[in-house]
């Protein structure tokens, strides 16, 4: 997460206040649709609802309002974008994908209220040199630097007020907007995703849970010199404030300017960690935000940050992914179909044409693993070919389904790693990495 220079805005904490903002958003989108419809009619065109909704003005309206609301409204928009385009129509995904962890910081008065609630009116006696300007402002909280009483350089991740209590209503309101937009096919049952998102976000809004994940990853990776993790200050951590040591490092994108060998090494390490989380640890940090990784030029170490989106994964999920990968490498179609059905990528009730289309897309997506040689992420045209093939899926909307939440979160992480490898121009032998876990 980069330093936030956006204008401070108070976080709407009450349920009524947040509902009012969502209603305002819906009204603004509706007004934008009417204006666009009138413009198209004046130009002699017959307006379609989708074209009227998906205007640049409406896209800006949605992303800006969600970034002001922060909390579950903004976070769920990020989750839904998934960078995949296979759960939602591409147009809606494109709108939601514009949401990044780039929220408006809360005003100083609101910040002080949170700190007083957690540490009392004399909270400044616990922290020296507290910087009221956040170094990052994201969907659930913002990050400030300070010194501990012992003089240690630390950071405080401070949750926006009202976030935890607004999760259910925020997600229900966004789900309603998705339905009334007409962009989400009636055949897709997203209720399991909604229920899981509420549970996941409630966990993320409890920093004591995140602190336990940080400790777990520290124990698992603490001896691996390739990584650096913040040290938890458990005595100062509460449900609303996570306190850790400050770990310096450049944004992970910094490595894009380094020699090819180093870019390849960094990306190989991150992809190996991803597969280890999924196939061995059964515990994955599922947020692919680039800001969760930093790079230390002096040592070549990778800094791992933000474990709020960590999920425990059922062992059968790893087994199904193993089956999928083994079948893809061996070129065996029937085991590939079986694994795809178990993972929720393939609807058993779909027509044969639909199944073949999904199978073709899966085989295409698995191309980087099928070849036993370095895959050039900079030169690949895979995303463009996937997008072109996805256009054909539009005609099978009646068979669309929402995969299980665990599968969606893993898909999100896989997509994020692909995008990062592409950004760094890395060349990685994925098959060689993954075979050690099969």
Question: What are the catalytic residues?
Answer: 287
Q: What CA–CA distance (Å, rounded) separates 278 from 271? A: 11
Query: Residues 6 or more apart from 438 whose CB is under 8 A from it?
Result: 279, 322, 325, 326
Backbone dihedral region for residue 344 (phi beyond 0: left; psi -120 to 50: alpha; all else: beta): left
Nearest CA to 80 out of 321, 359, 364, 405 is that of 405
Q: What CA–CA distance (Å, rounded) separates 170 from 200? A: 14
Rg, Å, the chain Cα set: 22
Nearest CA to 351 out of 397, 389, 408 is that of 397
CA 258 to chain centre: 26
For 209-245, letters b (16+ CB in 10 Å) and e give bbbebbbebbebbeeeeebbbbbbbeebbbebbbbbe
> Alpha helix (H) ranges present in 296-344?
315-330, 333-343
* DSSP calls for 365-421: HTHHHHSSS-EETTT--HHHHHHHHHHHHGGGGGG--PPPHHHHHHHHHHHHHHHHH
Can you tell me which residue has the tokens 């179609």? 333
Q: What CA–CA distance (Å, rounded) separates 279 from 296? A: 27
Written as six digits, the tokens of 103 are 């929220």
Query: Residues 6 or more apart from 30 whose CB is under 8 A from it?
Result: none
Nearest CA to 99 out of 115, 73, 78, 76 is that of 78
Written as six digits, the tokens of 223 are 């001896």
Q: What CA–CA distance (Å, rounded) separates 249 from 229? A: 11
Nearest CA to 305 out of 240, 232, 366 is that of 232
Written as six digits, the tokens of 65 are 């309002």
Nearest CA to 403 out of 311, 309, 288, 317 is that of 317
On whether the CB atoms of residues 399 and 187 are closer than 8 A, the answer is yes
């Amino acid at each position: 997460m980069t330093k936030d220079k956006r204008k401070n805005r108070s976080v709407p904490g009450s349920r009524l206040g947040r509902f009012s903002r969502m209603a305002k958003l819906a009204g603004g989108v509706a007004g934008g649709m009417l204006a666009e419809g009138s413009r198209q009619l004046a130009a002699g065109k017959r307006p379609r609802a989708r074209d009227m909704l998906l205007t640049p003005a409406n896209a800006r309206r949605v992303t800006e309002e969600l970034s002001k609301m922060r909390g579950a409204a903004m976070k769920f928009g990020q989750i839904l974008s998934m960078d995949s385009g296979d759960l939602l129509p591409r147009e809606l995904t494109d709108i939601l994908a514009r949401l990044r962890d780039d929220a408006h910081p809360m005003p100083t008065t609101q910040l002080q209220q949170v700190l007083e609630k957690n540490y009392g009116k004399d909270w400044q006696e616990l922290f020296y040199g507290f910087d009221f300007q956040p170094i990052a402002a994201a969907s659930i909280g913002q990050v400030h630097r300070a010194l501990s009483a012992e003089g240690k350089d630390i950071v405080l991740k401070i949750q926006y007020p009202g976030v935890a209590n607004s999760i259910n209503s925020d997600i229900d309101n966004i789900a309603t907007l998705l339905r009334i937009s007409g962009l989400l096919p009636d055949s897709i049952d997203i209720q399991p995703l909604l229920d899981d998102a509420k549970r996941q976000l409630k966990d993320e809004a409890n920093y004591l849970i995140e602190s336990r994940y940080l400790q777990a990853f520290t124990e698992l990776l603490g001896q691996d010199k390739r990584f650096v993790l913040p040290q938890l200050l458990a005595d100062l951590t509460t449900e609303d404030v996570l306190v850790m040591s400050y770990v310096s490092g450049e944004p992970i994108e910094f490595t894009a300017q380094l020699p090819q060998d180093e870019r390849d090494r960094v990306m190989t390490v991150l992809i190996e960690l991803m597969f280890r989380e999924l196939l061995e640890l059964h515990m994955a940090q599922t947020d692919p935000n680039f800001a969760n990784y930093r790079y230390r030029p002096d040592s070549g170490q990778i800094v791992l940050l933000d474990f709020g989106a960590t999920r425990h994964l059922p062992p059968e999920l790893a087994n199904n992914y193993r089956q999928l990968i083994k079948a893809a490498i061996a070129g065996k179609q029937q085991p590939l179909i079986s694994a795809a059905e178990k993972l929720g990528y393939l609807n058993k009730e779909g027509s044969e044409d639909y199944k073949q289309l999904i199978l073709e897309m899966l085989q295409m997506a698995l191309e980087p693993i099928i070849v036993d040689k370095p895959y050039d992420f900079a030169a690949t045209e895979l995303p463009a070919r996937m997008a072109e093939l996805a256009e054909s899926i539009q005609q099978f909307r009646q068979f669309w389904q929402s995969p299980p939440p665990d599968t969606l979160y893993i898909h999100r992480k896989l997509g994020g790693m692909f995008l990062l490898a592409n950004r760094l121009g890395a060349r990685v032998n994925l098959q060689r990495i993954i075979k050690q876990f099969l």
